[in-house]
Structure 1
Amino acid sequence: MGEPSVADSPRLSGVLLVDEQPGVLQRLGQLLRHEPYVLHLASSAAEALQILAREPIDLLMSSAHLPQMDGATLLALAHRDYPAITRILLTGEPDLALIAKAINQGQVYRYLSKPWNDDEMLLTLRQALAHRHAERERLRLEALTRQQNSELKALNAALEKRVAARTAELQQTADMLDLAYEELKHSYATSTELFSLLVNQRLPPSRQTNRQVIELVRAYCKIHGVDEGSRRDLGMAAALYNIGKLGWSDSMMIAPADLLHHPERERYRDYPKQSESLLMTLEPMQDAARLILHHQEHWDGSGFPDHLKGEAIPFGSRLLKLAVDFIELQRGLILERHMNSDEALVYLRKYAGRLYDPQLLEDFVQVCAAYLRDVTLGDPSVKVLGSRELQEGMVLARNLNADNGMLLLNAGKVLNGPLVDKLIAYEAMEGARYSIFIKLPDEEQGVWKKQTPTVS
């Protein structure tokens, strides 16, 4: 590295000595010749003012008595025009009025008497210049601090603008990603419904369930205001709940679950886990996959695969269980007998508190009554009775089918005593118990309107 330049070196202190006596100036010059000062000498106030106007002066020491202008006045002018200069009064006579003027108007740092003590003189000048330099450094640092604060404010303002702009960009990017992710989820939801058609190709039309399960779940979500995310997950779960069955044989695919024997029953109990495993690798499908995993859990904890109980079962899984069983009961996939919609709902009610969430079940029944045209269970003019509760003159509200699907009695049939006895005997012979839907006379509807149908 090179030597520091002259411009970089601190300048020497400028000292101006003013006295009308050449001898005094000569003696002061000799005293200060070894000090790091640039000395300026003046024999009058006028000469001193000229030097102040053209030279950088740090300390002005003036004799009290000068021709044309006394030293106190000179110091007062210097204080007015050059307030940063340190001022000292040198007096040979104790003129109190002049000293007071120098203090009050000239704001002198100190006053010294003639003759002076050299050591005291040197110490006074050194202290005065040290004070001057300290004050100048303080002012420089204050100015630097103000400048840096100003620059810092400008930088902060610029940084805030950049941060705000960047935040806006990031938010816009995040919004776009959220939108893209929502679009991806929507695409997945649409794709799952299309894929469910492939699952249905393994089944004859009379055994296909996915479309009806999807529509039931959607109807429930619409009526009960389920949020969009849960509605989408439930829709995907309804579309693909039985994807784990694709590896089954054709005969097992159409067999009622109640008639399966070991090892087919064990394979049946494994299908929710198989379905979940196939879907868990697809991130947008993971929540739907969890609903599928637990849709065969039972309210009393006797279900599979994890024996969850009560509200530990995810809400979506409880709802999916109701929709799946309601449709599969009508397709002969749970029991050998094909039930109609009302019979399926009666069956679900029979197992409320065991297989199904009781409160959710009642909400589901109301949705079915509002959504499906063939459901009469919510009709106050229809009552469900057992065969031994039947009486002459009652009118069937729905067809009565045997467990094997054979039509026993058609809707609108008026019952008589022998017909009721035959029905009771047929039940005993078949080991069955039927739920019979009866149309109430108009005068009895008010009595039964608020009653829950009896499960036989």
Structure 2
Amino acid sequence: MSQTTPSSVPSPAAVAAPQPAATLLLVDDEANILSSLRRLFRPEGYRVLTAESGDEALELIAAEPVDMVVSDMRMPGMNGAQLLARIREAYPDTVRILLTGYADIGSTIDAINKGEIYRYVAKPWDDNDLRLLVREALEGRRLRHENQRLSDMLAAQNEQLRQFNTELEAKVKARTLALSEALANTDKANKELKQAYTTTVRVFCELVESRGGLMTGHGRRVADLARSLGRLLGVGDADQQTLVLAGLLHDLGKIGLPDELLDKPFTQLRPEERGALMTHPVRAESLLMGVRPLAEAAKIIRSHHEHYDGTGYPDGLAGLAIPRLARILAVANAFDSLQLGTMVGRTLSPRDALAYIESNRGKRYDPEVVDAMIAIGAHDSAEVPSPDQRLRVGQLTVGMTLARDLVHAEGYLLLSRGFVVDQQIIEQLARLERNEGRPLHVYVLKNGGAA
């Protein structure tokens, strides 16, 4: 038995994101094979343990945690299939890879069935392929652990919300006893209870958007637009509050999904990626249903990807069978997502996004809600002075004058109306756009005159 450790000089990746080195256990009765594998994996920064038999491997893994076992098939005494089967029973979280010759196909099938191995590799192996296989397997294991950690954290916060709910209910009950039993006062107390939850919900929204990228500010914009649409459509105050909560939390089910999956346009996803992404409305509903004041918002979130013609998901609802608030949220979400470029593979201007929604009137979207969206869009357009033009950062030139305040998605002022753009400002805005991963639009005067 021998043990090697990585060089004492950390790699740049380790400096950027310090993590414990993954531990590999290599098992083979041939010393030269173990030496070759050790040389192959030492530069990767792994902590490498070696064993020359199945019994020796079981003693090692019992003494200290091991992330992955790479075992040869043919060994005296306990073969690789038997070893990996025993490791699966005792240490199911350990990744298992089998090295096998072409003559061992029957034993390999036995290892797959009993040991539930991650992959088998034919000998002689290709060094680059084996390195990549081990790296991908360990990364998959890390992602599973991270997803579990996020789920546990979310469950703990749900429990905090439940406790908060219990405390608020006690306060509301005490206050209601002191008030008139009139129905109007009861409704008022319920409304105050929902408003008290808004702050907590915003914490959840920050959790969703804390990963940065295209999701930053998306929930708040969708919530604001959904409330405006609801108000225009005559939705009551209580339902407007539900729309706000649903808008803030509609992407909660995306927690745990890979960043590259969230930033890729839906039309460019592979079938398996679409399948993973399409689970997020149901997952968000399941996370929120246990919190009584958010139960209605959870139902709306479940249905906000249903299409008016029945082609949406997750339930294939159509027309008036889709909850009305979900039909409103769907349009608000689409309008912002189209401008982010997460729906059709390119970023659209507000005008083009509105045209896309109008073209899907009665197909994807409720005609009544689309008409309200058009009314809001026409109103916004009427408020924009005709000499203004909306540009991307890459279209700015030195000397242009801002026609409107440039406000960050999080609400703070970047540049004020009337500011004259210079080269340094253009470079700073371009850097901000790259860092945040979403387009930045600037309104300037067409004639270049004073604002």
* Fold shared, TM-score > 0.5 on shorter chain: no
Taking structure 2 as the reference length, what is the TM-score of the superposition? 0.44
Larger Rg: 1
Taking structure 1 as the reference length, what is the TM-score of the superposition? 0.44
